[in-house]
Every structure is written in structure tokens, then in C-alpha cells.
Amino acid sequence: MTMDRIALVTGANRGLGRAAAVALAARGVRVLVTHRGDADGAGRTAEQVRAAGGAAAVLRLDIGDVSSFPSFASALGEQLERWGASRFDILVNNAGVGIFGPLEGVTTDDFDTVMGVNVRGTFFLTQALVPLLARGGHVINVSTSLTRHTSPATSVYSASKAAVEALSRTLAAELGPRGIRVNSIAPGPTATDFNGGVMRDDAGMRQVLAGQTALGRVGEPEEIGDAVATLASEGLRWVTAQRIEVSGGVLL
């Protein structure tokens, strides 16, 4: 297996980002692991990427800080040169934030943080990095099954991810002439540390969520990672502008 393709996974220091990075590495992809400040977690992801047979490098990135994107793009270019490349092939926009609460409990700061990271950050990071994305590359934006079904106290988070899905479809048309595919992947309930790790650690919550899925259980991060890696593969090279839900059939 030769490592020719290169992926950048944002927020890969833990959870779904780590799972995606490892799954891509297992398929021979070199992985650029980004983190906002958890260097130790990113280092552990890099170790797992190498153990899976891939090459890894770690870069710091705060997608809530749009002003940092030009310098990040420069740092990315320098890392690509160290790998003997000038372009990368797969951008996984995984990093995001969830702040949850009922209508009356959401503050303007909460709203601005969620939209600023999940929508504004995703948009402008993609804008900054597309010049380094290879022709025939792929952008995968991580969404949520909550854009299809509803759950209390998730309105702002769900709205931000619905915007990401709309962004994905529009950019698929805009970047299509360069052969760049843009899709969104929508995980359902998954046992990660997201939202305080409730879906991983709260047995009662897991039981409730398991009862809402067709497959009768909560998903595992590796299952989302495998889906990301499969979507990025040549086997799905004719798929673009799509929302792929990976939820075990939640709330059908």
C-alpha cells in the first residue's frame, strides 16, 4: 500500500475526528491532525495513525479564529513540502462546537459561538484551503442526524449544521469544475465525549437512544470514521452534493 493521498482532519485530537484520521490512515492516507489546544490528544491520534500504517503530522488550528487561517494555510503548505507535496486531497471539516439549551435559555453569545465556529469557521477555512486542495479532491463536512429529526434544546446546533449541509451542496456545484467533490456526513447518536460524553458514559441515555435506532444500539466512533474514509474513497468518486446519514436508523 502506497501513501500518496493526504487528508487534513480538523478537531482530530479526539472523538469522531480521531476515528476519521485513523480510518483514513488504515487505507493508506497520510493524515494532518489538527487541534485547538489539546496537543497531547493530537499526539495520541498521530500515534494511532502511525500504528494504523499511515504518516501523521500535527498542526494547531482554532476554527473559531478566522484571522488565523492565512498563517495556518502557510504552515500547512510548509508541512506539505516536507512530505514532498504541494497539494492535499481530502479536507474533513470535523471540528465544531455544541451548546444546547431551550429557546429561553440561549444567549446571544451562545448563538454567536455556535454559528461562528460551525458555519463561519467551516466556510472560511474551506475558502482558505481550497487553493491547496488538489484537483479531484474531496471536502467532507461533518453534520448531524439532528438536521432530519428533532430533539429538545438543540435548535441552534441543528440550525448550524443545516447551514453546513446547504453550504456543502452549493460548494459542490462551485468546485465541481475542478473535480472536487463536496459532501456532508451526518452521524447519529455516537459514544464519544461530545456534549460531556453523555452518549458514551450515561447508561440510561444510551438505553433510550438505542431504543430509537433501527439497529438497536448507539454508534461507535470507528463506525463514523469508516464512513468518512469510505466516502473519501475512489469507490464513491461519482458521489457529490450528498448528505450521508450514519445513524443506525435513528428515529425513522
Measured N-to-C along each axis, helices 15-26 and 39-51 cross at an angle, to the nearest 10 degrees, of 20
- In a domain, residue 39? The reply is yes
Pick the closest to residue 16 from 243, 251, 219 (CA basis): 219
pLDDT at 194: 62
Task: Please report whether residue 251 resides in a domain.
Answer: no
User: What pLDDT does residue 2 have?
Assistant: 47
Residue 252 lies in a domain: no
Alpha helices for the chain (secondary structure H): 15-26, 39-51, 69-82, 108-115, 122-129, 155-175, 198-201, 203-210, 221-231
List the domain range (segments joined by +) for residue 211.
6-246
- CA 188-194-196 angle, to 5 degrees, is 130
Residue 130 lies in a domain: yes
Q: Which of the residues 157, 180, 212, 250 is marked catalytic?
A: 157
In this predicted structure, what is the pLDDT of residue 29?
98
| Within-domain flag for 172 | yes
Classify residue 139: in a domain, yes or no: yes
CATH code for the domain of 10? 3.40.50.720
Strand partners, 187: 246
> What is the C-alpha separation between 50 and 31, in angstroms, rounded?
9
**Any catalytic annotation for residue 157?**
yes
In a domain, 15, yes or no: yes
Task: Please give the pLDDT value at position 204.
Answer: 76
pTM for the whole thing? Answer: 0.96
Through-space distance between the first and last CA atoms of the chain, rounded to whole angstroms? 39
pLDDT in tens, the chain (252 residues): 446 899 999 999 999 999 999 999 999 999 999 999 999 999 999 999 999 999 999 999 999 999 999 999 999 999 999 999 999 999 999 999 999 999 999 999 999 999 999 999 999 999 999 999 999 999 999 999 999 999 999 999 999 999 999 999 999 999 999 999 999 999 999 987 765 665 666 777 788 888 999 999 999 999 999 999 999 999 999 999 999 999 999 999
Sign for the pseudo-dihedral over CA of 9, 17, 150, 251: positive
- Overall number of domains in the chain: 1
Considering the domain boundaries, does residue 124 fall inside one?
yes
